[in-house]
Amino acid sequence: MWLLLAPTRLEAPFLKGEPFPFLGRMGLKGKGFVFLETGVGKVNAALALAHWASRHPVERALLFGVAGAYPEAGLGLGEAALVAEEVEADLGLEEGLKPLGFPAMAVEGKPLYNRFPLDPALTEALAALLGLPLRVGLTQDRPSESLEEAKRRAARWNAHLENMEGAAFARACLALGVPGAELRAVSNPAGVRDRGAWRLGEAVSALREAVLALL
């Protein structure tokens, strides 16, 4: 059984099931999965997983959604990837959390500051099954608002894909002991606000192909 999560139902039009209300948004109970619409942003993503997992066993969880690509991502519009590691870029100073001396969390005694792994075994198995590459995600509640800002973030954190939920989902999975993976499809060049440069439809099609191949 999969727990599938996406920030908005716009990213999951291909999922069919029995709807149910979930934290003021939508859930679906389908064949082999439960889907949760989490809402956009870090808090919503972490809350959704934690709330569901506090009441139901979770065998494995997949967060999927669209993302912005940094110039060196090696992914075109509409192309998908598995996120192997997430950076929480707005946690701590410009240099991150380490200068403050307080890790965000510890996993098996190892302090984690701004970089959080998705489940390696699950992520690598999905990448092999789906024939998708691995990339590094960067999460920030405020998206890049210019190409220059996007390039700065990419260079600062050595990241490929920008989103608003991934690091929170990764941290919640680590804290709750849930095997979690993250699938992202490129909807836009990060930092480019002109919607004419976006390809949401192509990105959602890539999500559809990958997610339905798992069910």
Ligand X SMILES: O=C(O)c1cccc(C(=O)CC[C@H]2O[C@@H](n3cnc4c(=O)[nH]cnc43)[C@H](O)[C@@H]2O)c1
Q: With CB under 6 A as the contact rule, which of the stretches 21-29, 114-122, 126-134, 186-194 interacts with ligand X?
A: 186-194
Q: Does 164 bind ligand X (CB under 6 A)?
A: yes
CB nearer to ligand X: pick between 90 and 103? 90
Tell me which residues in 63-82 interact with ligand X (CB under 6 A): 65-68
Cβ 5 to ligand X, closest distance in Å? 11
- The answer to whether 91 touches 142, Cβ cutoff 8 Å, is no
| Contact partners, residue 115, CB within 8 Å, separation at least 6 | 85, 86, 87, 88
Cβ 177 to ligand X, closest distance in Å? 24
Kindly give the pairing relationship between strand 33-37 and strand 110-112.
unpaired
Rounded to whole angstroms, the Cα distance separating 174 from 16 reads: 29
Cβ 40 to ligand X, closest distance in Å? 4
Cβ 110 to ligand X, closest distance in Å? 27
- The answer to whether 97 touches 181, Cβ cutoff 8 Å, is no
Across 23-151, the runs of DSSP E, i.e. the strands, are 25-30, 33-37, 60-69, 80-88, 105-107, 110-112, 115-117, 134-139
Q: Which of 107, 71, 103, 82 is nearest to 214 (CA)?
A: 82
Cβ 194 to ligand X, closest distance in Å? 9
CB nearer to ligand X: pick between 65 and 96? 65
CB nearer to ligand X: pick between 114 and 163? 163
- The answer to whether 100 touches 93, Cβ cutoff 8 Å, is yes
Tell me which residues in 144-163 interact with ligand X (CB under 6 A): 144, 162-163
CB nearer to ligand X: pick between 125 and 151? 151
CB nearer to ligand X: pick between 34 and 138? 138
Interface residues with ligand X (CB under 6 A) are 7, 40, 65-68, 143-144, 162-165, 187-188, 190, 193
